[in-house]
Structure 1
Amino acid sequence: MQRIRKRKGWTFDQMAERTGVSKGMLYRIEKGETHPTITTVWRIATGLNMSFSSLIKQEVEVVTVAEQKKTPDLEEDNGRCRLYLIFPFDPETHFEVYTMILRPGANYDSLPHPEGVREYITVKAGEFEITIHDKTYTLDEKKSIQFSGNVPHQYENRSNIETVLQVIMYYADEG
């Protein structure tokens, strides 16, 4: 994040104004003194008009075999919503891939993403409800959904078992 902020020539005040995240929080994130929530990372990414994973990515090899980490990259809703980055944003393909695990009772409200972002979600295990605008869809292991991510949307696991989602985020324009 520091590299991005400096490349743009922004101060913490300018970054805070653009992202809606306090300059104190931005400073602590840059220094590695805190772990931001999923919502905070989305706010920063949206404010910078960047992909979500470009803020948490690691270097990519020509061939990458990904194994889910034991510790999530980000958490929300008191740990009931956990996100594991699988493949970070790739400027050639314009997408990123991650696994989202929703424990029973998980509820995650996603901020609208920039124009041109599409979400592709496949349920790998369990079931969950996703509300896009005012319409709710119930999805299980036999269903997938895709939608424009520039609208408010909410993920909720009302079941008593863990739900595992494979999420692909497509960014029409990175920058």
Structure 2
Amino acid sequence: MQRIRKRKGWTFDKIAECTGVSKGMLYRIEKGETQPTITIVWRIATGLNVSFSSLIKQEAEVVNIVEQKQTPDLEEDNGRCRLYLIFPFDPETQFEVYTMILRPGANYHSLPHLDGVREYITVKAGEFEITLHDKTYMLDEKKSIQFSANVPHQYENKADTETVLQVIMYYADEG
């Protein structure tokens, strides 16, 4: 976040105004003193007009073999929704890839993303419901979905088993 903030020439006041996240929280996040929730990272990304993973990525190498971490990069809904970054945002491809694991009972509400952001979700294991606007879709291992992510959307696992999602976020324009 510091790199992006300095590149844009923004103060914590400006970021707080654009994201709805307090200056104190932004400062603690930038200094590594606290781990934000998925919702807070999305708010910051949307307010800064940058990709989600640009706020949590590590520098990429020419060849990058990724093994899922034991600890998620971010958690939400009391740990029932866990996010593991696989490939951070790449300005050449305009996308990022991560795995989202929804434990039984998980209910994650996502804020709208910027115009031009599309989500591509493939169910790798289990099943879940996704609600876009007021329409709900049930997806299982035989289904995938893609949609414009500039609307509120909700992921819910009503099953008794864990659901594993492969998520690709495409950013039409990294601002």
Q: State TM-score, norm by structure 2.
A: 0.99
The answer on 1:8 being equivalent to 2:16 is no
The answer on 1:53 being equivalent to 2:53 is yes
1:32 alignment partner in structure 2: 32
2:133 alignment partner in structure 1: 133
Q: Return structure 1 stretches of 4+ with deviation > 3 angstroms.
A: none
> In 1, Cα distance between the equivalents of 2:159 and 2:21?
33
Once superposed, what is the RMSD of the aligned Cα atoms? 0.6
User: What letter is aligned with 2:70?
Assistant: K
> In 1, Cα distance between the equivalents of 2:108 and 2:144?
18
Q: How many residues align?
A: 175
1:86 alignment partner in structure 2: 86
User: What letter is aligned with 1:116?
Assistant: G
Deviations, residues 103-154 of structure 1 (Å, cap 9, x unaligned): 0000000000000000000000000000000000000000000000001100
User: What letter is aligned with 1:168?
Assistant: I
> In 2, Cα distance between the equivalents of 1:65 and 1:5?
29
Per-residue deviation at 1:61?
1.1
Per-residue deviation at 1:62?
1.2
User: What letter is aligned with 1:74?
Assistant: L
Same amino acid, percent of matched pairs: 87
User: 2:16 aligns to what SS in structure 1?
Assistant: helix
Per-residue deviation at 1:10?
1.5
Per-residue deviation at 1:96?
0.2
The answer on 1:171 being equivalent to 2:174 is no
> In 1, Cα distance between the equivalents of 2:59 and 2:139?
33
User: What letter is aligned with 1:146?
Assistant: Q
> In 1, Cα distance between the equivalents of 2:159 and 2:7?
45
Q: Identify which range, 55-64 or 127-136, moves more after superposition.
A: 55-64
2:71 alignment partner in structure 1: 71
1:142 alignment partner in structure 2: 142
> In 1, Cα distance between the equivalents of 2:136 and 2:116?
22
Unpaired stretches in structure 1, ≥5 consecutive residues = none
> In 2, Cα distance between the equivalents of 1:9 and 1:91?
20
